Structure formats: C-alpha cells, structure tokens
Structure 1
C-alpha cells in the first residue's frame, strides 16, 4: 500500500462519534446542575433548607435569604456563646488541652457573630474555670 492509498483510505473513514456523555444536551444539563443555587441548597441542612427553598430563584436571592436568617439572630447567638464561655470549667472537659481548645473555639464563634473577645478576657475566663488545686498557679498570673 502506497502513501497515496493510505491517505485515500483514511479520508473515506467517517469520523468516530463521541460517547453520549459528551453530547451537547448532556453537557448543558451538567452545567445547569452546577448552578450556584443548587450548590447552596446542597450545602445546608434539610431542616433549614425548607425555610429558604424557592422555585426559580437565583443563587444571589438564596444567599441573601440565608444571610438575613443568620444575621437576625446574631445577638441571641452571641449571648448564648458568652454564657457557654462563662460556664465552661476544666471539670467539664477531658483535659487541660481540651479546656483550652474549647475556650478558643467559643471565642472564635463569638468572633463570627461580630462579638470580639480579647486575649485578656480569654485568659481571665480560663483562670476562673480552673479548680482550686490550681490556685497556687493562678495567683501569680493575676
């Protein structure tokens, strides 16, 4: 077979068809599935989904609705977190490290609701939550 014969036989071959997964319709469906609204809906809990789910809404509208729901209870959430911080003691934790981590986590959650906690406040609360066996250690810190 000469080079000319090969080129003639290759031009007579019809192009291979793509796998059905690559069809235009299927790709468009996949793109619609990745829409921001569906992403938002897929990341929130089912009980909260019922409160924000709407037909034919945009990702922006869903986000704004979520934002309003979360920001409306900021002060109540901050008060509840402050109570948790004040009531947390070493006795309620498995170790000193766990106690420190829980206090830090609560402080971070307070930051998330725009209620800042200074390092001094955190240290004072940490010392307050220690049992009496740490009294000799806590006096020099104050």
Structure 2
C-alpha cells in the first residue's frame, strides 16, 4: 500500500496510524457526500431516482421499518469498523487480509440475503452468488497455504 511503500527501507513504523486516518477519512467523506447530495436534491439541482430514494430515506423514514433499519445499520457499522483491524496484525499482508475482508463481506451478504428470504419472503441468493462464494473459499485455501509459508519464513528470519 502507499503508506507502507513510501517509507524508507528499514524504518520502523506502524500501519496503525494509517488505518486510523483511513477510517476517519472514509467516514467523514461518506457523511459529507450524503449531505451534499441531500442539499443538491432539496435545491432541485440533482434530481433522479437514486437521489430521490436517498433523500426520502433520510428526511422521512418509514416508521414501520425504522427500528429494523437502525438495527441493520448499527450491526453493519460495527462489523465494518472492526473489520479494518485485520490489517493491523504484525506481518499481515494486504493481499491476504484484503481477501479475508472480502470473504467476510460476501458471507455476511449471503447470510443476510438468506435470512431476508426466509423471514420476509425475499429472493434467495442466485446460483452466481453461490458460485462466487465457492470460488472465494477456494482462493482463501490457496492464499492460506501461501500465507502460512510466508509467516513461517518471517518467524525463521526473526521478523515476526
């Protein structure tokens, strides 16, 4: 990553500061973009199906679903916030951690889709969703083998 690759070779440093900055920046940008889109929509400058749905969801939420929306949002926020910490373990590579982070997201999405289908009569995950999940698990298997070899080498070299 940029933060790691711009440091001089041999310098001691931690990516923890980078991830804190990344989380704070991402949250700030998301809130600002949502606010700007809402203001543009209210001013009539940016109208359309996507901004209309977003504006309606923010300005007049459906009270029947409000508690479910809060529960889903809080659960998603907690998982999203803490998932970044997987990158902070010493010796962890962005390749492996990124794949694990994506599989966490894919499993969560597939689980949510299944629960929605079972509890609320929604659509079940499509065949392509199951194939994607299977391919990700195969990739994790290969990456796990490579990661174990790399970690063993780092331990042997006393870098981990």
Report if TM-score (shorter chain) is over 0.5.
Answer: no
Larger Cα Rg: Structure 1 or Structure 2? Answer: 1
Normalising by structure 1, report the TM-score. Answer: 0.25
